[in-house]
Amino acid sequence: MRLCTNNQVSVRKEGSADPALAVATDTWEYGWQWRAACRGEDAGLFFPPAHVEPKEARLTRERKAKIICSTCPVRMECLDYALRIREAHGVWGGLNELERRVLLRERLQPDAERLRLVGES
Protein backbone atom coordinates (compact mmCIF):
# COMPACT_ATOMS: atom_id res chain seq x y z
CA MET A 1 0.00 0.00 0.00
CA ARG A 2 2.51 0.67 -0.82
CA LEU A 3 0.83 2.40 1.02
CA CYS A 4 2.75 0.67 3.28
CA THR A 5 6.19 1.12 2.05
CA ASN A 6 8.50 3.91 3.01
CA ASN A 7 8.46 5.13 -0.55
CA GLN A 8 4.72 5.55 -0.64
CA VAL A 9 4.33 7.00 2.76
CA SER A 10 6.96 9.58 2.10
CA VAL A 11 5.29 10.46 -1.16
CA ARG A 12 1.96 10.76 0.57
CA LYS A 13 3.27 12.79 3.45
CA GLU A 14 4.59 15.54 1.25
CA GLY A 15 2.11 18.35 1.03
CA SER A 16 -0.53 16.56 3.03
CA ALA A 17 -2.35 18.29 5.84
CA ASP A 18 -4.35 15.19 6.66
CA PRO A 19 -4.09 14.58 10.44
CA ALA A 20 -4.78 10.88 9.94
CA LEU A 21 -1.79 10.66 7.68
CA ALA A 22 0.37 12.35 10.27
CA VAL A 23 -0.76 9.78 12.81
CA ALA A 24 -0.11 6.95 10.39
CA THR A 25 3.39 8.04 9.62
CA ASP A 26 4.19 8.99 13.19
CA THR A 27 3.19 5.55 14.39
CA TRP A 28 4.98 3.71 11.63
CA GLU A 29 4.73 0.02 12.24
CA TYR A 30 8.01 -1.44 11.20
CA GLY A 31 7.83 -5.06 10.27
CA TRP A 32 5.27 -6.15 7.74
CA GLN A 33 5.88 -3.13 5.51
CA TRP A 34 9.32 -4.46 4.70
CA ARG A 35 7.77 -7.50 3.07
CA ALA A 36 5.38 -5.47 0.93
CA ALA A 37 5.21 -6.50 -2.72
CA CYS A 38 4.92 -2.82 -3.67
CA ARG A 39 8.30 -1.90 -2.28
CA GLY A 40 10.23 -0.29 -5.09
CA GLU A 41 7.15 -0.07 -7.30
CA ASP A 42 5.82 3.19 -8.69
CA ALA A 43 3.78 4.83 -5.93
CA GLY A 44 1.82 6.55 -8.67
CA LEU A 45 0.06 3.26 -9.34
CA PHE A 46 -1.41 3.23 -5.87
CA PHE A 47 -2.42 6.85 -5.46
CA PRO A 48 -4.35 9.19 -7.71
CA PRO A 49 -2.47 12.02 -9.41
CA ALA A 50 -2.82 15.60 -8.23
CA HIS A 51 -4.81 16.44 -11.34
CA VAL A 52 -8.19 15.13 -12.42
CA GLU A 53 -7.89 11.48 -13.43
CA PRO A 54 -10.25 10.17 -16.11
CA LYS A 55 -12.21 7.10 -15.04
CA GLU A 56 -10.53 4.77 -17.53
CA ALA A 57 -7.09 5.92 -16.42
CA ARG A 58 -8.06 5.39 -12.77
CA LEU A 59 -9.37 1.90 -13.47
CA THR A 60 -6.23 0.97 -15.37
CA ARG A 61 -3.97 2.37 -12.66
CA GLU A 62 -5.87 0.63 -9.88
CA ARG A 63 -5.93 -2.64 -11.81
CA LYS A 64 -2.14 -2.58 -12.05
CA ALA A 65 -1.85 -1.80 -8.35
CA LYS A 66 -4.23 -4.58 -7.40
CA ILE A 67 -2.25 -7.09 -9.46
CA ILE A 68 0.77 -6.26 -7.31
CA CYS A 69 -1.33 -6.49 -4.17
CA SER A 70 -2.60 -9.91 -5.22
CA THR A 71 0.94 -11.26 -4.88
CA CYS A 72 1.66 -9.49 -1.61
CA PRO A 73 2.44 -11.62 1.44
CA VAL A 74 1.28 -8.89 3.82
CA ARG A 75 -1.95 -7.94 2.11
CA MET A 76 -4.11 -8.53 5.18
CA GLU A 77 -1.79 -6.54 7.45
CA CYS A 78 -1.84 -3.72 4.93
CA LEU A 79 -5.61 -3.75 4.62
CA ASP A 80 -6.10 -3.89 8.39
CA TYR A 81 -3.76 -0.94 8.79
CA ALA A 82 -5.59 1.13 6.17
CA LEU A 83 -8.96 0.34 7.72
CA ARG A 84 -7.71 1.13 11.21
CA ILE A 85 -6.37 4.56 10.31
CA ARG A 86 -9.31 5.20 7.97
CA GLU A 87 -6.92 5.80 5.09
CA ALA A 88 -8.86 7.98 2.68
CA HIS A 89 -6.72 7.63 -0.42
CA GLY A 90 -5.16 5.01 -2.60
CA VAL A 91 -5.08 1.27 -3.00
CA TRP A 92 -4.22 -0.57 0.20
CA GLY A 93 -4.48 -4.29 0.72
CA GLY A 94 -5.87 -4.65 -2.76
CA LEU A 95 -8.81 -2.33 -2.17
CA ASN A 96 -9.31 1.24 -3.27
CA GLU A 97 -10.80 3.88 -0.99
CA LEU A 98 -14.39 3.23 -2.04
CA GLU A 99 -14.06 -0.51 -1.54
CA ARG A 100 -12.58 0.03 1.91
CA ARG A 101 -15.41 2.37 2.82
CA VAL A 102 -17.94 -0.29 1.84
CA LEU A 103 -16.06 -2.89 3.87
CA LEU A 104 -15.99 -0.63 6.93
CA ARG A 105 -19.70 0.07 6.57
CA GLU A 106 -20.42 -3.66 6.38
CA ARG A 107 -18.30 -4.32 9.43
CA LEU A 108 -20.11 -1.65 11.42
CA GLN A 109 -23.55 -2.61 10.21
CA PRO A 110 -24.02 -5.65 12.48
CA ASP A 111 -23.18 -3.54 15.53
CA ALA A 112 -25.59 -0.82 14.52
CA GLU A 113 -28.28 -3.42 13.90
CA ARG A 114 -27.62 -5.05 17.28
CA LEU A 115 -27.84 -1.70 19.06
CA ARG A 116 -31.05 -0.91 17.27
CA LEU A 117 -32.57 -4.24 18.37
CA VAL A 118 -31.43 -3.74 21.97
CA GLY A 119 -32.99 -0.30 21.95
CA GLU A 120 -36.27 -1.77 20.84
CA SER A 121 -36.43 -4.44 23.54
Label residues 21-46 b or e (16+ Cβ within 10 Å = b).
Answer: beebeeeeeeebbeebbbbebbbebb
11 or 46: whose CB is closer to ligand SF4? 46
CB of 7 to ligand SF4, least distance (A): 10
| Segment near ligand SF4 (CB under 6 A); pick from 11-19, 36-44, 100-108, 113-121 | 36-44
Does residue number 24 form part of the binding site for ligand SF4 (CB under 6 A)? no
Residue of 9, 11, 24, 37 interacting with ligand SF4 (CB under 6 A): 37
Q: How far apart are CA 6 and CA 25, in angstroms?
A: 9
The site string for ligand SF4 over 80-99 (x = CB under 6 A, - otherwise) reads: -----------xxxx-----
Is the four-CA dihedral 7, 12, 14, 18 of positive or negative sign?
A: negative
CA angle 105, 29, 74 (to 5 degrees): 65
| Segment near ligand SF4 (CB under 6 A); pick from 18-26, 67-75, 102-110, 113-121 | 67-75
Q: How far apart are CA 102 and CA 96, in angstroms?
A: 10
Does residue number 9 form part of the binding site for ligand SF4 (CB under 6 A)? no
Are the CB atoms for 48 and 90 separated by under 8 Å? yes
Positions touching ligand SF4 (CB under 6 A) are: 1-4, 36-38, 46, 68-69, 72, 74-75, 78, 91-94
